[in-house]
Chain A
Amino acid sequence: MSSLAATVQNIFDEPGCAKNGSKSKADRRKGCTRQLQPGSAAGGCAFDGAKIALQPFTDVAHLVHGPIACEGNSWDNRGSASSGSNLWRTAFTTDLNETDIVFGGEQRLCKAITEIINKWDPAAIFVYQTCIPAMIGDDIDAVCKAASQRFGKPVIPINSPGFVGSKNLGNKLAGEALLEHVIGTQEPDYTTPYDINLIGEYNLSGELWQVKPLLDELGVRILSCISGDGKYREVASSHRARAAMLVCSKSMINVARKMKERYGIPFFEGSFYGIQDSSDSLRQIARLLVERGAPQELLGRTDAVIAREETRAWAAIEPYKPRFKGKKVLLITGGVKSWSVVAALQEAGLELVGTSVKKSTKEDKERIKELMGQDAHMIEEMTPREMYRMLKEAEADIMLSGGKSQFVALKAAMPWIDINQERCHAYLGYLGMVKLVEEIDKSLSNPMWEQLRRPAPWQVLAKAMVQMRSPLAEIACDPALGETTRRAKEICFCNKVDLGTIEDAITAHGLISVEAVREHTNAVGGCCNRRIEGILAASPSALPQAAE
């Protein structure tokens, strides 16, 4: 376990991350994520983080070493799309039982690996460590090493048991495993000056395929995508890429940085979310490749493709402008998405009332300011209650967020769109933005929201009835009763001035300020200031006064 602890410490020291770099050495040791608070709802664990980061490798058998809890509840829960093998979707687990816990699970793991090799013969096996075998001391590194030698096939230990920390830490530990055991272990069949790596791109809903044709057109080859629609051989030979694009910096920055250090592969942080950002990313790719020796003409071709795609996308978004007039969006997501979709939404005529920056880096925040102005409503940490309030009070017409916030929107009866991993649509690239705008339009025009906001008709009726039966209504019908009530209700407790006296003074003299009421009555206007303001606001005399 000491090596795991060392790896974790290693991850916590990330020069590629500005936030991390600005921390003191002591703070850095504590890690990047807030310590979990026992008793509060929390997200996934380090195992989950490692699993979702690597699971999109399609031709790998992902074997979870642990009791049924870890794989049984989670298998095939991500919509990454594969263009080839479906092996990644098959759930493999050692399904440890009581006896294994007592006598150790290594034997069982060994057998499980053998059975996978015999039945499936995959390109590689990733063995995921979980809490229980880690606690009882199963040495999966040793088992994997032995199995690799015995079968002549990569069997990779992914040492990220749940208890070591957060999901994000798990993402990084997965990256470490790739760096340690996979990357650089094979050679590509051939290389070109146009080879790139995409790091931290998961091909959810097959969205990478909305961008890939553009890269194909430019002649840029994705040597390896880590890990969306990725193959073992590709990632194993990814060290020969000429440049890399880091798509989700939060999850895989360590991979990009270390590949730069080890293999001299320059990288940039970019995104294919949003039109401007897709263009920026394509340009960056071209620039880096040219810097590394690709022919200069790539830049020109890239610009041509960008110009064409942008024109097409803006034209497709244009018709939505009038429909979106005055519509306000609240964006609750993390990292790059906090700014990368902003431009497209703004272009479509939507107004952004806020974007969350919980998982965003300093650069992300700078970009937000660029796009939304200095006073951009950046929300560091938005509680569900606050989201609910913003939606309920119609400070926003629609919320774009991850799946876990959807019920907040639903309870506030406001439109909502999932832009995180569990979404059903692909929003990447130029087409993706058009699709997103289309989906926003659909959601805004969904008649369901109207239905959601409307109370049951009989409740409206009942409310009206209650109002009719209320003292106010009675007073309206019976002036004498009204007079008594008015006189009985004290407003200024200090000098005992009643509501009737104040109302009469307001009506008689056309008073419009607390100051004036004080002059004409005995009211102090101190602790009763608010109450008098209320009476002034409700007073009918305010109207003729204004009319005159």
Chain B
Amino acid sequence: MAQSAEHVLDHLELFRGPEYQQMLDKKKMFEDPREPAEVERIKEWTKTPEYREKNFAREALTINPAKACQPLGAVFASVGFEGTLPFVHGSQGCVAYYRSHLSRHFKEPCSCVSSSMTEDAAVFGGLNNMIDGLANSYNMYKPKMIAVSTTCMAEVIGDDLNAFIKTSKEKGSVPAEFDVPFAHTPAFVGSHVTGYDNALKGILEHFWDGKAGTVPKLERRPNQAINIIGGFDGYTVGNLREIRRILELMGIQHTILADNSEVFDTPTDGEFRMYDGGTTLEDAANAVHAKATISMQEWCTEKTLQFVAEHGQDVLSFNYPIGISATDDLLVALSRIGGKDIPEQLARERGRLVDAIADSSAHIHGKKFAIYGDPDLCYGVAAFLLELGAEPTHVLSTNGNKAWQTKMAALLASSPFGQSCQVYPGRDLWHLRSLLFTEPVDFLIGNTYGKYLERDTGTPLIRIGFPVFDRHHHHRSPVWGYQGGLNVLVKILDKIFDEIDKKTNLLGKTDYSFDIIR
């Protein structure tokens, strides 16, 4: 045996041992093996334009989607409020997914409960699960607020959250004055960015519009503060901290809504923090008085911003601002709305990013990129690439819609470097696979799942997006602002130089260019 108690091998090595290899070879005989040549032929066929045509003719089947479901976004938004326990009304299996998805990305525990609906609840309605669930989670986890969202199961049978929560409160599950905002978040509509939007809107609606009819609506008395919404973002920890730093440097009074930068980055000091940081409930309520609300991600906050605008605030949205121009626009807007000057320190940071780009953009200039991910992220990354003189060639967003496509196309049309780019809303990573084979690019930008595309097509993957499971801690550094732009620049450059090294490191073959200075 290759495996022995003296030297226990990890799976990375164990199965390479001869006995396992033999065993697997023999096993193959009983598995209706195909001719290796035939397998090879099919493999090559999937790289052809002919296959691509068939692939793009797909109607019903989604293969390797680059999106997740609404409640994931709802949970993500909910944990951004002080002492808030996300409560997903529906089946518990779904909730386990959100928790693992988030904690695999952030390397942090993610607390979230479900009403654990089972077959009988599906038949008779989930009211009892709601009543018991709220009571249990209130008593066990001592939250300050429980934010309710739903899985498909509850949505399909049409459970009425408003009525259920009211009934639960009447039955004494939680005190009558305890905050239980809610949002219907069916997975069969939209994606996690929609869920973020719905959950945030639900929470603001709860505080601003009279807590489901139990108290009078808040009357808006405009003040000088600005609300900031980050949107669903894998870099939320770094980004929200960066935005806060910028606002503090400018001296702008602000509230960051759904601020989950603390709960997804708790210190290890012997104390378990089930809840940490977050927008206080008081701030969430007082956010109604702000003079304006700025969303960092347009397609994460369509409904929320509309709701905020209806309350008389100015609203403004960005598309994941990465790079110089995007950050310029953000700062100018903050300065204009906040009535504060942009301090010298930020001007210097800008100068440094410009300097860094000048030092190394020649390596990026003219390189072709494929980008996929959430709609706003795709937009922000593409805009930065255009700024660097890179040529985005495929931009694909499974959860992007027609409006996104139009806006993307306008961005690409505005630059000579975007002319050869195609935008693909509603397509998946298997579509992208065909694109990468038939119209190859130099680099691929996307989340961890892109590694399969990297393996199949040989296109080097630069990990920017959500989820990133197989690289650690990148979420702690911002990608927004000038400093964030620098981080993204470095990520791209690192990969470019790694690739050059990889192509020049064959001993005695290509290493004449294995240079130490790049």
A interface residue numbers (CB < 8 A to B): 76-77, 79, 81-84, 86, 205-206, 410, 413, 422, 424, 442-443, 445-448, 451-452, 456-459, 461-462
**Can you identify 27 A-B contacts, CB atoms within 8 angstroms?**
A76-B515, A76-B516, A81-B512, A81-B513, A86-B508, A410-B358, A424-B518, A443-B362, A445-B416, A446-B361, A446-B362, A446-B365, A447-B386, A447-B389, A448-B389, A451-B325, A451-B354, A452-B354, A456-B347, A456-B350, A457-B328, A457-B332, A458-B332, A458-B335, A458-B341, A459-B347, A462-B341
For B365, the closest partner residue in chain A by CB is A446
Give A456 to B332 CA distance when docked, in angstroms.
9
Most B C-beta atoms less than 10 A away, residue of A81, A82, A458: A458
| Residues on the B chain within 8 Å of A442, using CB | 362, 365-366
Give A81 to B508 CA distance when docked, in angstroms.
11
The residue from A84, A422, A462 contacting B517, defined by CB atoms under 8 A apart: A422
Give A446 to B386 CA distance when docked, in angstroms.
10
Is B470 engaged at the interface, CB distance under 8 Å to the other chain?
no
For A449, the closest partner residue in chain B by CB is B358
Q: Is the CB of B512 within 8 A of A448?
A: no
Q: Is the CB of B388 within 8 A of A456?
A: no
Is B417 engaged at the interface, CB distance under 8 Å to the other chain?
yes
For B346, the closest partner residue in chain A by CB is A456
* Chain B, 342-376, CB within 8 A of any chain A CB: 342, 347, 350, 354-355, 357-359, 361-362, 365-366
Give A447 to B354 CA distance when docked, in angstroms.
11
| Residues on the A chain within 8 Å of B332, using CB | 457-458, 461
Give A413 to B354 CA distance when docked, in angstroms.
10
| Residues on the B chain within 8 Å of A457, using CB | 328-329, 332
Q: Is the CB of A77 within 8 A of B517?
A: yes
Is B415 engaged at the interface, CB distance under 8 Å to the other chain?
yes
| Residues on the B chain within 8 Å of A77, using CB | 516-517
Q: Is the CB of A206 within 8 A of B513?
A: yes
Give A76 to B114 CA distance when docked, in angstroms.
61
| Residues on the A chain within 8 Å of B366, using CB | 442
| Residues on the B chain within 8 Å of A451, using CB | 324-325, 354, 357, 387
For B360, the closest partner residue in chain A by CB is A448
Please encode chain B, from 319 to 347, with 1 for each CB lying within 8 Å of some chain A CB and 0 for all others: 00000110011011001000001100001
For B325, the closest partner residue in chain A by CB is A451
- Output the least CB separation between B301 and chain A (Å): 24
Is B44 engaged at the interface, CB distance under 8 Å to the other chain?
no
Give A456 to B354 CA distance when docked, in angstroms.
10
* Chain B, 122-173, CB within 8 A of any chain A CB: none
B interface residue numbers (CB < 8 A to A): 324-325, 328-329, 331-332, 335, 341-342, 347, 350, 354-355, 357-359, 361-362, 365-366, 386-389, 415-417, 507-508, 511-513, 515-518
A451-B354, A457-B328 are known; give 13 further A-B pairs, CB within 8 A. Answer: A81-B513, A82-B512, A442-B362, A447-B417, A448-B358, A448-B388, A452-B354, A457-B332, A458-B328, A458-B331, A458-B341, A458-B347, A461-B332
Closest 6 CB pairs of A and B: A81-B512, A448-B361, A458-B342, A447-B389, A446-B389, A410-B358
- Output the least CB separation between A204 and chain B (Å): 10
Q: Is the CB of A206 within 8 A of B512?
A: yes
- Output the least CB separation between A422 and chain B (Å): 6
| Residues on the A chain within 8 Å of B329, using CB | 457
Say whether, besides A79-B515, A422-B517, A447 and B415 are in contact (CB < 8 Å). Answer: yes
Give A220 to B517 CA distance when docked, in angstroms.
33
| Residues on the B chain within 8 Å of A424, using CB | 518
Say whether, besides A424-B518, A445-B416, A447-B388, A456 and B328 are in contact (CB < 8 Å). Answer: yes
Give A206 to B513 CA distance when docked, in angstroms.
8
Give A445 to B361 CA distance when docked, in angstroms.
12
Give A206 to B515 CA distance when docked, in angstroms.
12
Total residue contacts A-B, CB cutoff 8 A: 71
| Residues on the A chain within 8 Å of B361, using CB | 446, 448
For B515, the closest partner residue in chain A by CB is A79
- Output the least CB separation between A212 and chain B (Å): 13
For A206, the closest partner residue in chain B by CB is B512
- Output the least CB separation between B414 and chain A (Å): 11
| Residues on the B chain within 8 Å of A76, using CB | 515-516
For A424, the closest partner residue in chain B by CB is B518
For B351, the closest partner residue in chain A by CB is A456
| Residues on the B chain within 8 Å of A410, using CB | 355, 358-359
| Residues on the A chain within 8 Å of B389, using CB | 445-448
| Residues on the B chain within 8 Å of A83, using CB | 512
- Output the least CB separation between B392 and chain A (Å): 13
Say whether, besides A86-B511, A448-B389, A458-B331, A79 and B365 are in contact (CB < 8 Å). Answer: no
| Residues on the B chain within 8 Å of A456, using CB | 328, 342, 347, 350
Give A432 to B187 CA distance when docked, in angstroms.
57
- Output the least CB separation between A85 and chain B (Å): 9
Give A259 to B515 CA distance when docked, in angstroms.
33
- Output the least CB separation between B517 and chain A (Å): 6
| Residues on the B chain within 8 Å of A445, using CB | 389, 416
Give A427 to B511 CA distance when docked, in angstroms.
20
| Residues on the A chain within 8 Å of B518, using CB | 424
For B500, the closest partner residue in chain A by CB is A424
For A79, the closest partner residue in chain B by CB is B515
| Residues on the B chain within 8 Å of A461, using CB | 332
| Residues on the B chain within 8 Å of A413, using CB | 358
| Residues on the A chain within 8 Å of B342, using CB | 456, 458
- Output the least CB separation between A230 and chain B (Å): 14
Q: Is the CB of A79 within 8 A of B517?
A: yes
Give A82 to B509 CA distance when docked, in angstroms.
10
| Residues on the A chain within 8 Å of B347, using CB | 456, 458-459
| Residues on the B chain within 8 Å of A84, using CB | 508
Q: Is the CB of B516 within 8 A of A452?
A: no
- Output the least CB separation between B428 and chain A (Å): 31
Give A470 to B34 CA distance when docked, in angstroms.
83
| Residues on the A chain within 8 Å of B335, using CB | 458
Q: Is the CB of B387 within 8 A of A447?
A: yes
For B328, the closest partner residue in chain A by CB is A457
- Output the least CB separation between B334 and chain A (Å): 10
Give A24 to B354 CA distance when docked, in angstroms.
52
- Output the least CB separation between A229 and chain B (Å): 8
Q: Is the CB of B516 within 8 A of A448?
A: no
| Residues on the A chain within 8 Å of B354, using CB | 451-452
- Output the least CB separation between B382 and chain A (Å): 13
- Output the least CB separation between B249 and chain A (Å): 13
- Output the least CB separation between B510 and chain A (Å): 10
- Output the least CB separation between B336 and chain A (Å): 9
- Output the least CB separation between B302 and chain A (Å): 27
| Residues on the A chain within 8 Å of B331, using CB | 458
| Residues on the A chain within 8 Å of B511, using CB | 86
- Output the least CB separation between B182 and chain A (Å): 42
Give A369 to B342 CA distance when docked, in angstroms.
52
- Output the least CB separation between B100 and chain A (Å): 42
| Residues on the B chain within 8 Å of A443, using CB | 362
Most A C-beta atoms less than 10 A away, residue of B355, B357, B361, B512: B512
- Output the least CB separation between B515 and chain A (Å): 5
| Residues on the A chain within 8 Å of B388, using CB | 447-448
Q: Is the CB of A452 within 8 A of B358?
A: yes
- Output the least CB separation between A122 and chain B (Å): 16
| Residues on the A chain within 8 Å of B512, using CB | 81-83, 206
- Output the least CB separation between A84 and chain B (Å): 8
| Residues on the A chain within 8 Å of B365, using CB | 442, 446, 448
- Output the least CB separation between B322 and chain A (Å): 14
Give A101 to B417 CA distance when docked, in angstroms.
60
Give A461 to B347 CA distance when docked, in angstroms.
14
- Output the least CB separation between A72 and chain B (Å): 13
- Output the least CB separation between B420 and chain A (Å): 15
Give A452 to B415 CA distance when docked, in angstroms.
17
- Output the least CB separation between B167 and chain A (Å): 54
Give A448 to B365 CA distance when docked, in angstroms.
9
